[in-house]
Structure 1
Amino acid sequence: MNKNMLLIGGSHGIGLEMAKSLEKDYNVYIAARTKEQLDGLNATYIPFDATQDTLDESSLPTELHGFAYCPGSINLKPLKMLSLESFREEMELNFFSLVQVVKTIVPKMVEGSSMVFFSTVAVGTGMPFHTSVAAAKGAIEGFARSLAAEYAPRIRVNCIAPSLVDTPLAKRLLNNEKKREMMAERHPLKRVGTARDIANLAVFLLSEDSTWVTGQVMGVDGGMGSLNIS
């Protein structure tokens, strides 16, 4: 019997790439706001808005073997242009909604199951204009490590910290060739990430190939988080 994987926000970008890889070997459940991109995908769609809805447990299988929370934001502004409400919105989408879903599904996570969350390179590497998103994603990293400790050895919990990835979320930052070249040059590997780059590691962490990996924050960032080649 195939194992069950739940993706929150799996209808675009990294989540969609994960679903495409997972559908071959797992029963995939995708809880997201839209399903247009899911046509032809072997997955069960669950209407769900992470900022407004409570996940309906009756729509899920009785057992879950893997879970990934994919919703995120890129709200890059100087601190003086960010209101307190901006910080609250970042926390609601990135962190509090994640916590709410985790509390709902953790009783369904079976022995040996895996959770994957997403952070950003900007948590470990200070970057201007990232205060609100880095604060929210930093909360995720702390939560992931503590959760991994609390639920070991039954559930593994890991976090991926990407740099800029070419997804719909980053469209404003990559909407012309000059911007693309500039963003690529900032990375030691001289390119922007792809959804597939990140999805490959996420699928590995959800699989049985990573059964001795937990409590980690892993950078997939073209070298930006650890190399200085200037």
Structure 2
Amino acid sequence: MEKNILLIGGSYGIGLEMAKTLSKDHKVYVASRSNDELSNLDVTHIPFDALTDDLSEKQIPEQLDGFVYCPGSINLKPFKTMGMDTIQKDMEINFFGLVRTVKTIMNRMNEGSSMVFFSTVAVGTGMPFHTSVSAAKGAIEGFARALAAEYAPKVRVNVIAPSLVDTPLSERLLSNDKKKEMMSERHPLKRVGTAHDIANMATFLLDSNNSWITGQVIGVDGGMSSLNVSS
């Protein structure tokens, strides 16, 4: 059955991969700043900036079966050199932008609908230089669990916690072959993630066939969070 699915930030990377897959069977709305990569897809684009725009003023469906919030940041800096502006920006794009958007669309979510948010492996596994992004993504995990409890059984809410994924957001960390090899070696599965890896899990969580999953933070991280294979 065709569903209405709203993606916030679906023009690149993981969101774009989701739009490609979901638009084959569902009505997909992509609210993002640009639509450069969406022209060949059967989706409805809604111009939207999660930092500055009010989604309630946009033409979005009255009823939604799926919702995914994709905007995020990767600011990796030593805490001693990090300004408060960096921490505030990370909280704004990752967490407060999400909360504002959810506030707007929560009453549109249908019975049995699903919401998917994104965290990071660094919340559950302490990593140097991740203080700002870990704080913002950790807020998402707590928010998601509480929201899942409050809206059960009507709405399912889950979080995906990836490790490093090869997307435009992480291009600075994977800008040459040496960096890619070094980052790959850190993972038990000896590669960094792809947008397709993460989009697959998000699509799985949106599917009503998987309707007994809620309030979960699911690691899609090449084994980074749970395996130690160093010798």
Q: TM-score range by the shorter chain?
A: over 0.9
8 Å Cα contact 2:161/2:218 also seen in 1: yes
Q: Secondary structure at the match of 1:149?
A: helix
Q: Secondary structure at the match of 2:68?
A: strand
Structure 1: how far apart are the matches of 2:3 and 2:111? 12
TM-score by length of 1: 0.99
Structure 2: how far apart are the matches of 1:224 and 1:77? 21
8 Å Cα contact 1:78/1:128 also seen in 2: yes
Q: Percent identity between the aligned chains?
A: 69
Letter in 2 for 1:201: M
Match of 2:133 in 1: 133
8 Å Cα contact 2:46/2:58 also seen in 1: no
How far apart are 1:62 and its partner, in Å? 1.1
Match of 2:179 in 1: 179
How far apart are 1:58 and its partner, in Å? 4.8
Q: Encode CA deviations 1:181-218: one digit per residue, 9 max, x unaligned.
A: 00000000000000000000000101112100000000
User: Alpha carbon RMSD of aligned pairs, Å?
Assistant: 0.8
Structure 2: how far apart are the matches of 1:81 and 1:23? 43
Structure 2: how far apart are the matches of 1:96 and 1:72? 11
Q: Secondary structure at the match of 1:173?
A: coil
Letter in 1 for 2:169: L
Letter in 2 for 1:39: S
Match of 1:107 in 2: 107
Match of 2:195 in 1: 195
How far apart are 1:57 and its partner, in Å? 4.9
Letter in 2 for 1:97: G
Match of 1:70 in 2: 70
Structure 2: how far apart are the matches of 1:58 and 1:35? 16
Structure 1: how far apart are the matches of 2:218 and 2:50? 24
Structure 1: how far apart are the matches of 2:101 and 2:95? 10
Letter in 2 for 1:5: I
Q: Secondary structure at the match of 1:67?
A: strand
Letter in 1 for 2:119: S
8 Å Cα contact 1:57/1:104 also seen in 2: no
8 Å Cα contact 1:77/1:129 also seen in 2: yes
Letter in 2 for 1:35: N
Match of 2:80 in 1: 80
How far apart are 1:81 and its partner, in Å? 1.4
Match of 2:219 in 1: 219
Structure 2: how far apart are the matches of 1:209 and 1:125? 31
Matches within 5 A, 1:138-157: 138-157=138-157
Matched, 1:206 2:185: no
Structure 2: how far apart are the matches of 1:9 and 1:22? 15
How far apart are 1:56 and its partner, in Å? 3.4
Give 5+ residue unaligned stretches, structure 1: none
Structure 1 moving runs of 4+ over 4 Å: none
